[in-house]
Structures are given as C-alpha cells and as structure tokens.
Structure 1
Amino acid sequence: MKNFETLLDALNDLISRGYTEDFNVDEDMMQDREKNIKMTVDEFEIDEFYRFEGESNPADMSILYGISSEKYNLKGTLVSAYGTYSSNQNAAIDAKLNHNQVNKNL
C-alpha cells in the first residue's frame, strides 16, 4: 500500500488510476448520485483505503476508500470521517468498510 502525505495526494492518485466516481453512503446503500446508482454491500468492493490524521485538529481525521463495482462497472472514492466526527452509517455498510480495514492491516 502506498503512503501519502495528504488526503488530496491520495485522492489524485486514485483518480489517475480510474477511480473517478464520487460515492456517498445513503442509509444502507453506497450511492453514485451522478449516475443515480445505489449499491448494496454485496455489489461493491473496497479495493484500498488510506487513513489521515490531522496533527492538531480532530476534524481532519478521515479515511479515503477506493471502491469498485463489477456489477455496475464503476470505480470511485468515498471520503469518510472517523473518530469523534464520524457519522452514524448503516451497520452493514459500516461493517464492510471496517472489515476491509482490519483484514488489510494484518
């Protein structure tokens, strides 16, 4: 896994490798609003992720995910806060995102 100094550096790298869609979590679905596609947890994969921690500001704690879906032929990114400022995501989406972090850190 590559190391990046900033979230923007990592995002630009993923975009240059074809992760061009901008995903959002919408209740229990991963959503591509531009294409009006909603994916269940079984319809996408977490290919890679990068954690960033702000040196002095807890609001800077975030994770960038590289996500793909064979079913919809999509590759894109999701930026998610963690720690104090994380949102309450659906349990299934949260479990998939966290499961991939644990497995890839082993």
Structure 2
Amino acid sequence: MERFHYQSAAEALNDLKARGYTLDFNLAGDCLKCPQMQLQLHPQDFSIEEVYRFEGMSNQDDSSVVYGIASKSGEKGVLVDAYGVYADSMSPEMAAKLKESYR
C-alpha cells in the first residue's frame, strides 16, 4: 500500500483525484455506492489501495478517514468516513473490509 503524507483530508482528496481516483463512493450498509455511475461494490468487489487518517485539531470527534478504492473492474474513487459514525449501519463484512486496511 503506497503512503503519502497529507496535512488535511482535503489535501488527500485533491491528490487522490489528480492520481485517478475520480469517483466518489458512499457507504450503504453492505456495499459502496457510486451515484455518478450507478455502481455498487460489495466487499469482494473492491480493494483499498490507500488509507489516510486525520484527527481534528481542536476536537478528536472531528476525525476522518480517506480511502483510495479500486474496483476489480478498474474503477477508482474515494470514500471519506468519520471514525465510527456509520459502524451501526454497516454490515459485518463491510466493517471487516474497512478495518483490514488499518493493518
């Protein structure tokens, strides 16, 4: 997994987009959805190529994670997640997929 160092989530997103991660993914329980392409990716359909964590300067509750995602069919995009915000609405398979990228 390639690693870059960014000062902010916005900086990471801009660079990832410049490097071809052009789609925006959203968590949808048991899959990632991309409204731009009407695409759904289940955990077995994508890999996490890059992950960057950011903590809020004044409030740790403002923490977020930026993922660089690649589908098995070649689409690339980003997912932004706040630490734990979606944990209750995520399938165990999706939670495990996202968690494995922290190793």
TM-score (norm 2): 0.90
Aligned to 1:44: 46
Aligned to 1:30: 32
Bigger share in helix:
1
Distance in 1 separating the partners of 2:47 and 2:35? 18
> What is the distance in 2 between the residues matched to 1:45 and 1:93?
12
Structure 1 unaligned residues grouped into runs of 5+? none
Equivalent residue for 2:60?
Answer: 58
Hey, what's the Cα distance between the residues in 2 that align with 1:57 and 1:9?
Answer: 19
Q: What secondary structure sits across from 2:57 in the alignment?
A: coil
Please tell me the residue identity of whatever aligns with 1:78: L
Identity %: 39
Structure 1 counterpart of 2:17, one-letter code: I
Structure 2 residue matching 1:101: 3-state secondary structure: coil
SS in 2 for 1:14: helix
How far is the alpha carbon of 1:91 from its aligned partner?
A: 1.3
Q: Distance in 1 between matches of 2:61 and 2:25?
A: 20
Is the counterpart of residue 20 in structure 1 residue 18 in structure 2? no
State the alpha-carbon separation in 2 of the partners of residues 5 and 40 from structure 1: 30
Gaps spanning 5+ residues in structure 2: where? Answer: none
Deviations 1:39-83 (A, max 9, x none): 111100000000000121233200000000122x21000000105
Per the TM alignment, residue 25 of structure 1 is displaced from its structure 2 partner at its CA by 1.0
Q: 1:15-40 CA deviation, whole Å, 9 max, x = no partner?
A: 00000000011110111111111111
RMSD: 1.1
In structure 2, give the amino acid aligned to 1:98. Answer: K
The equivalent residue for 1:8 is 10
